[in-house]
């Protein structure tokens, strides 16, 4: 039980990731696949953000901290900013992947007038 409760953030991200993976593999509609892809990527972002979370911690700025009496010097006192920064970059990648994928979906729709994979394969034959 403790294994599930104490690490619930990991369980949430794994569940989300599996939902996304299922949608990418199992769904036959191209837009649903893209939604799955987005869930999949967002799950990983959630994972990175959750590993940086810390109770009662402050921002990692030494001088002029948000309460001037508290200076976060020890690692346990401040939130690690690096995962957040990495995820800013990853969000940019996510958005551009989604953009490229949507553009491709528009191309497919222009050509086949449908977004169901079965129908497209039928038309291609």
The tally of CA atoms less than 13 A away on the side-chain side of residue 94 is 18
Chain residues 12-31 in contact with other proteins, contact rule CB under 8 A = 21, 24, 30
CB of residue 116 vs other proteins: minimum separation in angstroms?
12
Chain residues 72-111 in contact with other proteins, contact rule CB under 8 A = 82-83, 86, 89-90, 93, 96-97, 100-101, 103-105, 107-108, 111
Nearest residue (CB) to other proteins, 66 versus 74: 74
123 alpha carbon, distance to own chain's centre: 34
Nearest residue (CB) to other proteins, 78 versus 83: 83
**How is residue 56 annotated by DSSP?**
T
Chain residues 26-65 in contact with other proteins, contact rule CB under 8 A = 30, 33, 37, 40-41, 44, 47-48, 51
Name the residue with tokens 């800013």: 88
CA neighbor of 90 nearest in space, from 46, 53, 50: 46
């Amino acid at each position: 039980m403790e294994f599930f409760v104490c690490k619930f953030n990991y369980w949430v991200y794994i569940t989300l990731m599996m939902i996304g993976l299922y949608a990418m593999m199992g769904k036959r509609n191209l837009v649903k696949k893209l939604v799955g892809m987005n869930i999949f990527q967002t799950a990983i972002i959630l994972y990175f953000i959750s590993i940086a979370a810390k109770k009662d911690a402050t921002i990692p700025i030494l001088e002029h901290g948000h309460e001037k009496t508290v200076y976060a010097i020890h690692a346990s006192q401040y939130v690690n900013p690096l995962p957040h920064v990495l995820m800013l970059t990853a969000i940019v990648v996510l958005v551009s992947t989604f953009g490229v994928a949507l553009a491709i979906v528009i191309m497919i729709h222009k050509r086949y007038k449908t977004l169901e994979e079965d129908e497209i394969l039928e038309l291609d034959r």
